[in-house]
A and B are shown apart, each in its own frame.
Chain A
Amino acid sequence: MSATEEPEVRAATPASRLAAYVRGGGVIVPLLTVTLAFLAGGLVMLVTGKDPIATYEAIWKGTGLQWLFPWTTGADRVLAASNLQQTLIITTPLILTGLAVAFAFRAGLFNIGGNGQYIVGSIAAVWVGSSFADMPSFLHIVLAIIAACAAGAFWAGIAGFLKATTGAHEVISTIMLNWIAVWVGVWLFSLGGPLQNNAQKSIPVSEDVVEGAKLPVFWGDPVLQGLHIGLFIALFAVIVFWILLIRSTIGFEVRAVGFNPEAARYSGMNVGKNYILVMAVCGLFAGLAGAMDVLGWQFRIATNDIQIAYFGYIGIAVALLGRNTAVGTLAAALLFGALLSGTSQRNLDPTIFEPSLATNLTWIIQGLVILIVSADVLVLGMIARGRGLFRRRPRAAAPAAEGEP
């Protein structure tokens, strides 16, 4: 109706802000974010007297990603293969915990509870996987996975239910549920606990998953922690995530509620029911992540494992960096998987960088990613500055003006 179609102003939900962010920055901003984080990490190395280039090279070798290049041959290739298997083993749960955060975000919820959901999922998986020794292998695996998904979904569903019925903020309730999960797990497997190992009375650990319930290894040596088929299950989950969110009526409601709960309510959607459903789906993904680790390579859970579990938290960084999209989450999970395995004591060349310190580097980079993603305005602002250097920009407090493109 006029030459200058001005968009009108409105309040933005987190999901809506993020959507604007994705549209504004595209794929460039996440790449820039990562680059900045790596640069800052390099600076830390420099300050502490290490050679950043040599360190990053060693980490790169530790990831095993050079296996993908045909010119890696001979002994290098064998080592690379083994390292890449490790990278992908870690990537598998990160994809799933990433999806668990991303799905919530698309509904305008912030799921900090990925870790607790991961823990209850792994507990359920280890319990089912170590029981029913006589079951057929395939059925046993399926049952253990279903149990883990259900446990995670139930756990996250509690936060959704509390939000829908009492309005309790999901950030608070999921953090609380994380700690409850940790201490329930510790109690279950500690000495004399109900699920503690019967054969090893002096060790606070679960029973071992029976052979039939272990996920088959398709690449590498099963004894030396080869790559299990959980990777394909995670990739399948990415596809499910996309179809559910983008192509299903459920996802239509989820996104509508995420962008504008009031308009969703006025269209006849049940916002509270949506919150419960969304959280349950998130918990399902995170619980599945726990099952993949337990059935794929851990096979038992020590109380110690529960207390230091952190894959659920990395899922937050994965989702944020991946912009809560299916493909983005996959890529970000691979990045964090590679970082974690590249800096692990097993994979990193100790002559270049003390492995005991190396993991700290991962934390630094992860922290920087979260910081920079949270300070989205900063990166977008930098891009905007770059476009209009030396040009006066409207004040932040300016009222919405007509004609602004």
Chain B
Amino acid sequence: MRGPELSDAELVARMCARDEGALRTLYERHAGWMSVRLLRRCADRDVVTDTLQDTFVAAWNAAARFRGEGEVASWLWGIALHRLISRVRTRGPQGARLGPALLSPQLSDASAEDDVLLAIEYSDVGSALARISPELRVVLQATVLDGLTTREAARLLGIPQGTVKTRLVRARASMREELA
């Protein structure tokens, strides 16, 4: 696909053979967008920087465990999300500020011209999601969109696991109501 350039999976294979250049290339390809996504979930740059470092060190150590199923990008992102949770957790409650993806206070801060590409914004689901309260949406973001368990979501958001569960139930009910 990319001519003589190595694919992500080939880079990971080389990392198993302790090829530091491969790690460097992988970092160049993935650190940027990962830091953007992490910053959307945690507004503290220090925490995001630490998470990014943890992620690539973990990827280096766990390269042998990547079996080539699925995308390297998803594999790295999975590591990053879990590293972020443990970093936020070690900071303690109120230790790390949440990012816009988990905090968006305005119901719809996206202007129409931003989102030609995003028809979903104006679909039934999109408008329903935009109308439910931010507290509920955050829980949906963490569990449904980020694929975290309620336990992981609780750690990331700094709220009890029971609260995540009840909010998730309420969020589902609200969505159902909106879509009915």
Is A bound to B?
A: no
Q: Which residues of B contact A (CB under 8 A)?
A: none
Q: Which residues of A contact B (CB under 8 A)?
A: none
